[in-house]
Amino acid sequence: MKKTKKNQFRYAFAVNQPLANNPKHQFAQNHALMLYRANALYSFIPKNACSTLRFSLALENGCIRDEKDINWIHANNGTFRASLREAITADYTFVVLRCPFRRLASVFLDKFVSKDVPSWQYIDAMGREIALDDLTFYHFVNSLARPQIRNANIHWRPQVDFLLYEHYHDVFCVERFAQAISKLEELLQFSVRDARPLTRHGLDQFSLLNHGSFANVPIKELMVMKAEEKLPGIASLYDKAAYQAVATSYREDVALYRETCPDGELLALSDVVSGNG
């Protein structure tokens, strides 16, 4: 995505009806948040450092004071939502992308192994055809070939759906997040505060197992590992079949990440094969 003087919407022109009735545009605009002092717009994508950025945004916009107020952000996802006028006239726009393979592994290890709310929403979307305890990562990613499952929850919905614009002033990636922190501080005087120690969503608190494949290990066994502060590493959660399932169902996300984050860390099939060897 290259810089552009005009904020050109990505989905607005696709449907010849009132913009308020355009579901793809409205979804993207509903996930666009304003940094008011800088007249900047941030498109937030769940599992892409979004708690860190929403926490930092709430601090910058003067709605919370410090880390003791972290839970405020979870009740205020829409508080800083951009209006149409704000989205059109924003002086600076940015988004944070993530390797699609790493993003899905992260949501599974975070939300599913912990049996958090999104995992039960998934089970409901699947018509309760499988017990959560018996769900494996391969079963999860293979089921995402179905659009109604792929779009059932924002934590695994494709990243392209969150893009409000055809082009952003800056596209950052989670895998090189230090670049985002530095650029936002330099350009906007916007200080990014790491929320991971507060939300405990990251994998940094676990000992990661990077050999063998855990693609077909059920959640009930992964829960035992997690209680022992161990989890599969990202690559070891995949096998070839799981990798190909994601590559197919999320091919737009893969292409987007490859195009806009060339210095990122797109998980390669060779990473999976070598890690499982």
Query: pLDDT value at position 24?
Result: 98
- At 262, is the pLDDT very low, low, confident or very high (cuts 50, 70, 90)? confident
In order, the DSSP letters of the chain are ----SS--BSSGGGSSS-GGG-HHHHHHHHTEEEEGGGTEEEE--TTSSHHHHHHHHHHHTTS--SGGGGGGGGG-TTTTBPPHHHHHH-SEEEEEE--HHHHHHHHIIIIITTT-HHHHHHHHHTTT-S-GGG--HHHHHHHTTSHHHHTS-TTTS-GGGG--BS--SEEEEGGGHHHHHHHHHHHH-------HHHH--SSTTSEEE-SS--TT--HHHHHHHHHTTEEE-TGGG--HHHHHHHHHHTHHHHHHHHHH-TTS-PPPHHHHHHHT-
- Reported pTM: 0.93
Q: Where are the domains of the chain?
A: 12-275
Q: For residue 197, is pLDDT > 90?
A: no
Q: For residue 204, is pLDDT > 90?
A: no
Q: Tell me what the mean pLDDT of segment 184-213 comes to.
A: 84
- Residues 265 and 153: beta-carbon distance below 8 Å: no
pLDDT in tens, 46-72: 999 999 999 999 999 999 999 999 999
Q: Tell me what the mean pLDDT of segment 163-188 comes to.
A: 97
pLDDT-above-70 percentage for the chain = 95
Query: pLDDT value at position 201?
Result: 62
Q: Tell me what the mean pLDDT of segment 169-188 comes to.
A: 96
